[in-house]
A and B are shown apart, each in its own frame.
Chain A
Amino acid sequence: MDMNEKPKVEEKVQEEATMEEKPTLPNTKEGKLVKALLEKAPYAQGEVIRERRVKFTVPADRIHEFLELASETFEMLMQISVVDWLKEGQFEVTYQLWSVSESVHAFVKTRIPRDGAKLPTVMDIWPVAETYEREAHEFFGIIFEGNPRLGPFILEPREYEKHPLRKDFNMLSYVKAIYGEDFDRYDESKTNYVI
């Protein structure tokens, strides 16, 4: 009986989760901020994580539009983080914004396919995006359309096309290929290698 009951409970939980697609926003500073922004941009989803942390999920084709709206409240673009979800074949790009006037940190998330990853540049909104986009381009291979300085930035030119922060980049075999016999400590037959 116990074994039969368990899946039922899980199903119920899942149903409830799908029913509550739009969780009600708390009546706080963060909740009001998310609500005001979502009214202007109904295509996005927003939620409050905790005090002074909010999160938005935006489709990739409307990211520039959304960030332009968001830049009225969030004056600073703190960083652009990319996470390589290899199994799903997607890059998750997170624009992290900070509002100096409201003291709220926002994650603006969008997902793009790994193959031929492209996004519009946000240099026109925040000029500092140039640096972050150069970094994301170099380490993950995302092309930011409109950024004139995509090219070797931190890495050496021979490493530039490799995109080392992708999950399928094997650091040890690359070093072996470059340095050859000089790098004799690396044994390919060993699994779970400790560097």
Chain B
Amino acid sequence: MANLEVPKELREEAKAHDMYLHPIDKDTYELFFGPQHMATENFSIILKMDGNRVEKAIVNPGFLHRGFEKLAEQRPYFTNIALLLRICVPESDVPENIYSMAVDEIVGWEVPDRAIWIRNVVLEMARMAAWMFWIMGFGNEIGLYTAGQWAAAYRERFMRLFEELTGGRVYHIYTVPGGVRRDIPGDRWLRQLRDTVEYLKGKLKDFDEILFDNYIMFERTEGVGVMDKKFALKHAVTGPNLRAVGVPYDVRKDDPYYLYDQLDFEVPVLKEGDSLARVLVRRYEMEQDLYILEQLLDMGPPSGPYMVQDARLKALPRFKPPAGEAYAHVESTKGDFGAFVVSDGTHKPYRVHVRGPSQSHGVTVLEELLKGARLADVPVILKTLDNCPPDIDR
């Protein structure tokens, strides 16, 4: 048994936890994590393990739908909405909005006030629905399934509202260049939305008790996957992950779009940069999103058209914007989501390049943070970074 010895680090950890380790081979081994693993969502990581510890991680994307950017070059402008929204499934309104905003800028359209209000409400609803989806995944990762099941049920309330507004539950195809596809169903829908917001405000306390203020959650996330401010900036980490290291960057405040410069909300910032900080930043943001929705509902939809008045919209497949380019970005639950659209004056976009936030924190950052983590922490780091694989392989 000469060549079989327990690494010193492992031995010490086992001793600290009153455990007796059997001798294991000191050689490392390779572990394929995903794409079928529940935690990874069509995403694979090749781990080089030393006992229980990750020595090296290699991200291996490409198991998902591909070629949206190429397909977008072969379709007319308005048809692309139905394609690009599939980039981020839990938050499908974000790709719709960034693409529409970029095309609006190229054409030079002033979107009517009513459409802007509706788009803003839809984006915030999408954020809430995506948070619920995230709780579902994260709760499952650390073994608190009840929270996940509650969240899935609460998400259903938003899905129903979306269905009444747009006709679709998950994929909405609602925000189009120039405005939105149709008007709000009526005052009843607005009342239902207000009821849902009120309901969820009460339910956040329940989530605190079962998930965010839970001993298990603290044990599993505190000090796991720590990054510092400089590292995060150099790796272009955005969204809640960046705010968890102490940088108050939020697209809604720093590059305001729609009505956000008229709304009153806070950008939660924590400094620790570990998984716990990332989870708590998200918890505070849920509260802010509900507050934003409340303010928008108090404001009420402005009267007027919901679509820009333009004669060119009558012949949609042959609609030609002028040559030009634009970059638009919004704050999604994953981070800074952007679209770069180039037009050459024909009826199809010349190039659409989508900047998914997971492109930065799902590849290089994940590989760095996984170094030295325990195997059980791999899903926790993955979920607290909120990695969305379709952002990477578009």
Count of B interface residues, CB-CB < 8 Å: 35
**Contact A103-B254, Cβ < 8 Å, known A79-B340, A130-B364, A154-B66:** yes
Stretch at the interface among B114-122, B141-149, B278-286, B353-361: B353-361
> B233 contacts A100, CB within 8 Å?
yes
Q: What's the A-B contact tally at a CB cutoff of 8 Å? A: 84
Docked CA distance A135–B363 (Å): 12
Count of A interface residues, CB-CB < 8 Å: 34
> B355 contacts A96, CB within 8 Å?
yes
Stretch at the interface among B68-76, B155-163, B208-216, B294-302: B68-76
Q: Report which of B71, B75, B340, B351 forms a contact with A96, defined as CB distance below 8 A.
A: B340
Against A, the Cβ 8 Å flags (1 = close, 0 = not) of B351-394 are 10101000110011100000000000000000000000000110
> A165 contacts B69, CB within 8 Å?
yes
Q: Which of B67, B342, B359, B364 has the most CB of A within 10 A?
A: B364
> A81 contacts B353, CB within 8 Å?
yes
- Interface: A78 (CB within 8 A): yes
CB distance from A163 to the nearest CB of B (A): 11
Residues of chain B within 8 A of A154, CB atoms compared: 61-62, 66, 392-393
Against B, the Cβ 8 Å flags (1 = close, 0 = not) of A85-129 are 000000000101010100101010000000000000000001110
- Interface: B226 (CB within 8 A): no
Q: Report which of B71, B74, B351 forms a contact with A83, defined as CB distance below 8 A.
A: B351
Against B, the Cβ 8 Å flags (1 = close, 0 = not) of A49-89 are 00011000000000000000000000111110111100000
Docked CA distance A22–B62 (Å): 45
Residues of chain A within 8 A of B75, CB atoms compared: 195
Docked CA distance A83–B351 (Å): 7
Against B, the Cβ 8 Å flags (1 = close, 0 = not) of A130-151 are 1110010000000000000000
- Interface: A153 (CB within 8 A): yes
Q: Report which of A79, A94, A131, A153 forms a contact with B338, defined as CB distance below 8 A.
A: A79
Residues facing A in B331-351 (CB within 8 A) are 336, 338, 340, 342, 350-351
> A81 contacts B62, CB within 8 Å?
no
CB distance from A137 to the nearest CB of B (A): 14
**Contact A165-B70, Cβ < 8 Å, known A128-B360, A131-B364, A154-B61:** yes
**Beta-carbon nearest neighbor of A51 in chain B:** B255
- Interface: B308 (CB within 8 A): no
**Beta-carbon nearest neighbor of B235 in chain A:** A128
> A78 contacts B236, CB within 8 Å?
yes
Residues facing A in B300-338 (CB within 8 A) are 327, 329, 336, 338
Residues of chain B within 8 A of A107, CB atoms compared: 327
Residues of chain B within 8 A of A94, CB atoms compared: 340
Q: Report which of B69, B233, B336 forms a contact with A75, defined as CB distance below 8 A.
A: B233
Against A, the Cβ 8 Å flags (1 = close, 0 = not) of B49-74 are 00000000000011000110111001
> B62 contacts A131, CB within 8 Å?
no
Docked CA distance A169–B360 (Å): 27
Docked CA distance A53–B359 (Å): 22
> A78 contacts B74, CB within 8 Å?
no
**Beta-carbon nearest neighbor of A99 in chain B:** B254
> A78 contacts B247, CB within 8 Å?
no
Residues of chain B within 8 A of A44, CB atoms compared: none
Against B, the Cβ 8 Å flags (1 = close, 0 = not) of A14-49 are 000000000000000000000000000000000000
Residues of chain A within 8 A of B340, CB atoms compared: 79, 81, 94, 96
CB distance from A194 to the nearest CB of B (A): 8
Docked CA distance A78–B251 (Å): 13
- 29 example contacts (A-B, Cβ-Cβ < 8 A) are as follows A52-B255, A75-B234, A78-B329, A79-B340, A79-B353, A81-B340, A81-B351, A83-B342, A83-B351, A94-B340, A96-B340, A100-B249, A103-B255, A105-B255, A105-B329, A107-B327, A126-B235, A126-B236, A127-B234, A127-B364, A128-B234, A130-B364, A135-B359, A153-B61, A153-B62, A154-B393, A155-B62, A156-B62, A195-B74
Other 14 A-B pairs with CB < 8 A, given A126-B234, A128-B365, A132-B359: A76-B233, A76-B236, A76-B238, A79-B340, A79-B353, A81-B340, A82-B353, A128-B234, A128-B236, A128-B364, A130-B363, A164-B70, A171-B74, A195-B74
